[in-house]
A and B are shown apart, each in its own frame.
Chain A
Amino acid sequence: MRILSFYSIKGGVGKTTAAVNLAYLNAREGRRTLLCDLDPQASASFYFRIKPMSGQNSKMLVSAQRKASEFVRATDYENLDLLPSDISFRKLDIQIDKARKPKSQLKHTFRQFDGEYDTLFIDCPPNITLLSENIFRVSDIMLVPVIPTTLSRRTYEQLCDFLLKQEIDVERVIPFFSMVDRRKNMHKQMMEDLRGAHPGFLEHYIPYRSDIEKMGTFRAPLPAVYPESRSAREMVSLWREVLERASV
């Protein structure tokens, strides 16, 4: 089982959008996929029309008493299941801190899905916390969306510094551009600068598009509803590139 997480320090950069669509594409290719919605805002669950859980279930991620697999739900799509979010995930940090091995607690939790799924996707809340440190340790690959703006560049570089300090393998980090507005010269320029300064950005990127924005209305992965659209095809290309880079 390979674990992919979608992470950035900054909020609202397209983590959930990428996680939902790419998890769908992965499942569509026949890999058994579980998307874990660890963000208490429950956006990924919302996109799949799955209600968040009742609000007391964060313990399943930190103790052996409840099995997380009991909470898994099937999405409407073949090979794709979801572990719904729970409002109590807000307190995950505190709970992880109390666990016996706080830095590798999630590694232990996710082992239970070995064999049942081929790929695990994790949609993370923004910020650097104990939870995100756990996620860095458990992930085979971290996909980091970056909006080509000065502010995003700063937070991306902060993340790289943090990982270096924690001695976490930066090789596992795959950055890609998100919400790119091609009409903005500033975006173009910033993409060039960033590619120069940080090799490793994916060639393909996710442009800013109104059909992507509308996912909140039709509540489904975009390629499931508009498989022939430009946005869907661009997502497929991006996903291909990730697969080639990381042999998921």
Chain B
Amino acid sequence: MDWSTYYPKFVDSTTTGTPRQLVKDVTVADIGCGFGGLLMALSPLMPEELIIGMEIRLRVAEFVQQKISALRVQHKDDGLYQNIACLRANTMKFLPNFFKKSQLSKIFLCFPDPHFKARKHKARIVSTTLNSEYAFVVKPGGIIYTITDVEDLHVWMVQHFEKHPTFERLSKEEEDSDPSVKVMAIETEEGKKVERNEGQKFIACFKRLEDEPWIE
């Protein structure tokens, strides 16, 4: 994976070779980032982290990447928005193609498509088997953030993460004290829509635990 075109300001100039290496790895992923509202909000909040938005719709991903480029130009002087980028990917299939084991410290799953029909539940972005892949790319102690306005989906996500031995749900207090939770609730496009409709938002966050010792 060549990240250099996504984060040109973070290319390691002390090395050569292709692809060009970055001075640090991407550590935060917004999966199904849509139009990228959360990325823009997280950028100044976590200036030390490289943040990637991943979106399956090609046109949407391109749009977000253009928006980021424009923001970078506007902010030439303060150097903002260099730490965010967006790429097109079907994360349900290709997450491990982008990240090494334990590379990420945070994953955001904001307002995922609910796929109401039971027959379509396989298409949901959270499942016990998919959660193993999230566990692979997230380091122990890292956090998965989920938010939705569909209670059924919320229950589903909680059930499936809680059933996975590698995850543990954060307590209400831990959630409340995490600034990322607030940003996720108000800065995503979907979050804003729900806000306007005075709808409910259901939040659940899960800590990735250490792998259990091998049973040999």
A and B pair up = no
